[in-house]
Amino acid sequence: MTDTLTPEQRHHVMAAIHGKDTKPEKIVRQYLWHQGYRYRLNHPRLPGKPDIVLLKYRTCIFVNGCFWHGHEGCKSYVMPKSNTAFWEKKILRNQTRDRNVKEKLAQMGWHCITVWECGLKPDKRQETLQYIEYTLNDYYLKDHTPKPTHTPTTFNTNFDPLPLAAEESENNNN
Size of the site for Zn ion (CB under 5 A): 6
Please report whether residue 91 would count as binding Zn ion according to CB under 5 A.
Answer: no
Pairing of strands 52-54, 157-160: unpaired
Please report whether residue 116 would count as binding Zn ion according to CB under 5 A.
Answer: yes
Sequence-distant (6+) residues with CB within 8 A of 66 are: 74, 76, 77, 116, 117, 118
The correct pick among 28, 32, 54, 66 for binding Zn ion (CB under 5 A) is: 66
Q: Give the Cα separation of 57 and 41 in Å (integer).
A: 14
Please report whether residue 71 would count as binding Zn ion according to CB under 5 A.
Answer: yes
The correct pick among 27, 118, 120, 164 for binding Zn ion (CB under 5 A) is: 118
Shortest CB 106 distance to Zn ion, Å: 23
Q: Which of 27-35, 48-56, 113-121, 145-153 is the region at the interface with Zn ion (rule: CB under 5 A)?
A: 113-121
Residues contributing to the site for Zn ion (CB under 5 A) = 66, 71, 74, 76, 116, 118
